[in-house]
Amino acid sequence: MSQISFHSPTGELSIAEDNGFIVSVDWGWGSLQEETPLLIEAKKQFDAYFDGKLKQFNLPIRPFGTNYQLKVWEALQTIPYGETRSYQDLVHITGGSPRSIGGANGANPIPIIIPCHRVIGKSSLGGYSGGEGIETKQYLLNMEQLFKN
């Protein structure tokens, strides 16, 4: 598995590739750094995303999870840039419950590319397990609103 780390507005990010697919995005600096053409392209796309120039990632991904998690993560990828959906909205698409949607979001191995930050609660932003938690989620949502048009 190859990995590249870089500084972003939400902190240090590490992206991992395995057999030609992005398999994880994590906050923090990875210990093993090995640039590949795919990881270099992923970093370019992240830079463009944080600059407000990229609304949709175009990278091969392979998240690992349960069948239900995969179904939720697929649904998350249909939420347009700069928009949000409620946990209940996703229940109507994937089945389960708001709690199971939250669990799948929390287990998302490829955040930002699979935009779990775009899922909010009825009366609050809900949770976020990446970076600085809810502060990171709020940053991503605000940034997308700023660059939406």
Give the residue numbers annotated as catalytic, written as ranges: 116
Task: Report domain extents, the chain.
Answer: 2-50, 67-147
CA–CA separation, 88 and 31 (whole Å): 38
Do the bridges between strand 2-8 and strand 11-18 make them parallel or antiparallel, or are there none, so unpaired? antiparallel
pLDDT digits (tens, 9 = 90+) for 4-54: 999 999 999 999 999 999 999 999 998 888 899 999 999 999 999 999 999
Q: In this predicted structure, what is the pLDDT of residue 33?
A: 85
Taking domain 67-147, whether its CATH number is 3.30.70.260 is answered by no
CA-based nearest residue to 49, from 94, 13, 93: 13
Q: At residue 1, does pLDDT exceed 90?
A: no
DSSP element (H, E) containing 97: none
pLDDT in tens, 94-122: 989 989 999 999 999 999 999 999 999 88
> pTM of the entire structure?
0.94
Give the strand pairing for 119-120 and 85-86: parallel
Model confidence over 51-95: pLDDT tens digits?
Answer: 999 999 999 999 999 999 999 999 999 999 999 999 999 999 998
